[in-house]
Chain A
């Protein structure tokens, strides 16, 4: 029980003994009249301490509001985040410094040339102008009922891209950033070329991630099977993508 409640209890006890205090503005005036006494002084001192504490608290809240109110576990999280980031940045810095040192070392520009070639290869793979090879999956969509539309193939492609497929080929068409699917008179067209069932997607990337992404409940495989198609996913240690796009 707190002191204030005790006060209220006493209030009940004394109601009979004492008359009610003065009402209205006169009460306020009576309240302001100074009365000396040990108790009064003690009350004044307490109020002084209270005022001091309020001012101190207000000042300290004004100083730093971002982290002062955060709890310990939040602060630990922030600190861990910062640590990770600085670690990553430091690694980046080391890499760049290595590259810089190499570039400075060979004056003929051998390293620079190698660097540029490497980058050209990467961009060629991404743009689809170079053949590629690597671990991935083969996704075979059989379409006995002619129920597979362009939108389904686009869904399949997007699902593969989301799951981290780096290089994708559909039948004989190498997929690029601007690849489109179109419902034509004789089946689906991709980038202007007619595709015929079964549609065979070859994708290079993490086989496990892509398989999981395709198989999620209510996902692509379920939708395609609902449309009457057969779906077969085969992870491969080596997928060879030979089709290229003209630059």
Chain B
């Protein structure tokens, strides 16, 4: 519940303040967001399965975003930034789908 409220407040704040994304963060923010979404969906699934742990959630959330951004950064340094970010997005997308499938099975039993 608190997480949901936080999410709503965050979106509202973002749209009200209309912050400019700093230039150095621009290539990494989208990837980090996708990674965070993955962590969030994973957290919801874990909660539904009764194995949710705040510490794991926080660590996985922060870890996912940092590692995703780091991979893209490394890719940019190696000159394969766009390919690597595509790869990261694909992997995270697959994970999000499998997590959502888990949630669906828990909620609807199907």
A2 to chain B, nearest CB (A): 5
A234 to chain B, nearest CB (A): 52
Contact with A along B40-67 (1 / 0, CB 8 A): 1011101111110111111111111001
User: Does chain B have a CB within 8 A of A71?
Assistant: yes
Stretch at the interface among A3-11, A121-129, A212-220: A3-11
A27-78: which residues lie under 8 A (CB-CB) from chain B?
27-28, 31-60, 68, 71
From A21, A32, A39, A60, B1 is in contact (CB under 8 Å) with A32
Q: Are B60 and A24 in contact (CB under 8 A)?
A: no
From B10, B42, B49, A52 is in contact (CB under 8 Å) with B10
Q: Are B14 and A21 in contact (CB under 8 A)?
A: no
Task: Tally B residues with Cβ within 8 Å of A.
Answer: 60
Q: Are B64 and A2 in contact (CB under 8 A)?
A: yes
Stretch at the interface among A12-20, A98-106, A155-163: A12-20
Query: CA A47 – CA B8 in complex, angstroms?
Result: 9
B contact residues vs A (CB 8 Å cutoff): 1-15, 18-21, 26, 29-30, 32-33, 35-40, 42-44, 46-51, 53-64, 67, 81-82, 95, 99, 106-109
Between A and B, 17 residue pairs with Cβ closer than 8 Å are: A2-B35, A3-B64, A4-B60, A10-B51, A11-B51, A27-B106, A41-B2, A44-B2, A46-B3, A46-B6, A49-B10, A51-B8, A51-B13, A56-B21, A57-B21, A57-B30, A71-B81
A contact residues vs B (CB 8 Å cutoff): 2-4, 6-8, 10-11, 14-15, 18-25, 27-28, 31-60, 68, 71
Counting from the closest, the 5 A-B pairs by CB-CB distance are A39-B54, A55-B14, A51-B10, A3-B60, A21-B50
Since A19-B50, A21-B49, A48-B13 are in contact, a sample of 4 more A-B pairs with Cβ atoms closer than 8 Å, ordered by chain A residue number, is A18-B50, A39-B57, A40-B3, A47-B10
